[in-house]
Amino acid sequence: MTDHVSSKETHAMPPTPSSARPKAVVNHLPGGSTSTVERAMRVLRVMSEGGNARLTDIAAAAELDKATTLRLLEVMVRDGFVARDAQSKQFSLGPELMVLGAAALRRFDPRPLARPSLLRLVGQFEDSVVLSIPSGVESLCIDVEEGTYPIRANYLRVGSRRPLGAGAGSLALLAWMPEAEREAALEILANQMSRYPRITPALLRERIADARERGHVVLLDVVVERMGGIAVPVLDPEGRPVAALSIAALNDRILAREAAMAQALMRESTVCQVRWSEAVRTSRRQAGAASPSRTLPETLR
């Protein structure tokens, strides 16, 4: 993710150089070998960050040699998970992934649950609002509602990823993880922040403690100069963070309205949590299990 501020409009972001991306985080088989499935997942994650890509760029970003990457791509092209342009020879995600994605979204898609909250927050504060979810030790942006204020960050893109802690929303996801998971993530993240030299393990622990005491995250001048974010987690019925709501704005705009923003974010987080609980109950009822219910106020439906 490129960290810039744009005025009047949000500009397209150039591809992130492979040397600047966080190293891929994968699990390894006993003995240190990496499975074919793990390598294929690395390739697909790299490809999910942009449009068409060359073999050389995919291999570099996935930290694989070109021969291995080409073999994986050829198999995925054959099965429809990757497409290859006949003229440019570049690769892109294929239609079979759309089928899998649609199947996953049919089971549960958090975006419709949170979209009214994004709209209300933008209407109240005029700054961009982001919905993100955890993905390993990264946060994945799955929805953005751009604000009307003319100065905003241009890195707010659906599909963009960041290490947990590199941004207000991703820090909220990290801060509210169960402690054992959070400690394991922090160990991995210690080697994932080369693009964010201001973010140190000590800073992360300090901000996590501060966030849990406040009930919300505030992160200013850490990722982008003059820009910051304020965020809260969205928790599932077991208290685990399943998403984060964040507002991205100029530092001065956050500092002047922190209390109001935090209150509004927590209100909308509660709305999303109730909607999430309702979705979980529906799923459990369909599976033959019941769970306690909570009622969403009519004004927030």
Taken in order 21, 27, 30, 33, the sign of the CA dihedral is negative
How far is Cα 292 from Cα 294, in angstroms, rounded to an integer? 7
Which range, 56-65, 189-198, 274-283, is most confident?
56-65
DSSP letter (8 states) at residue 53 = B
- Distance, in Å, from the CA atom of 194 to the CA atom of 185, rounded to the nearest integer, reads 16
Kindly provide the b/e burial profile for residues 183-207, where b requires at least 16 CB atoms within 10 angstroms of the residue's own CB.
Answer: eebbeebeebbebbeebeeeebeeb
- Highest mean pLDDT, choosing among 11-15, 46-50, 154-158, 208-212: 208-212
pLDDT band at 19, cuts 50/70/90?
very low
pLDDT digits 0-9 by tens, 140-172: 899 999 998 876 666 678 888 899 999 999 999
- The mean pLDDT of the chain is 81
In this prediction, residue 101 has a pLDDT band, given cuts at 50, 70 and 90, of: low
Give yes or no for residue 189 having a pLDDT over 70. Answer: yes
Are the beta carbons of 172 and 232 closer than 8 angstroms?
Answer: yes
Question: Nearest Cα to 95, choosing from 116, 68, 76?
Answer: 76
CB-CB contact of 168 with 228 (8 Å): yes
Burial of 115 (0-12, 13-18, 19+ CB in 10 A): middle
Stretch 88-100: mean pLDDT, rounded? 81
Quick one: average pLDDT of 66-75?
94
Which of 158, 166, 164, 172 has the alpha carbon at shortest distance from 128? 158
CATH T-level topology, domain 17-104? Arc Repressor Mutant, subunit A (1.10.10)
Please report how many Cα atoms fall inside a 13 Å half-sphere around the Cα of residue 195, on the Cβ side.
22
Q: What is the mean pLDDT of residues 8-22?
A: 38
- Per-residue pLDDT band at 75 (split at 50, 70, 90): very high
pLDDT-based confidence at residue 52 (cuts at 50, 70, 90): confident
Is pTM beyond 0.85 here?
A: no
Q: Regarding beta strands 241-250 and 128-135, do their DSSP bridges make them parallel or antiparallel, or are they unpaired?
A: antiparallel
- Residue 121 near residue 260 (C-beta atoms within 8 A): no
Q: Residue range 97-111: average pLDDT?
A: 68
Q: What CATH topology corresponds to 108-300? A: Beta-Lactamase (3.30.450)
Give the pLDDT score at 17: 37
What percent of the chain lies above the pLDDT cut of 70? 77
Q: How many CA atoms lie within 13 A of 256 on its CB side?
A: 6
pLDDT in tens, 105-145: 556 678 999 999 999 999 999 999 999 998 888 898 999 99
All CATH 1.10.10.10 domain ranges in the chain, comma separated:
17-104
Residue 40 has pLDDT above 60, yes or no: yes
Region(s) of the chain under CATH 3.30.450.40: 108-300
pLDDT surpasses 50 at 243: yes
Provide the pLDDT for residue 10: 40
Mean of the pLDDT values across residues 207-212?
96
Residue with the larger pLDDT of the pair 87 and 280: 87
Residue 139 token pair: 């946060």
- Averaged pLDDT for residues 165-191: 91
Rounded distance, CA 246 to CA 128, Å? 8
pLDDT higher for 12 or 257?
257
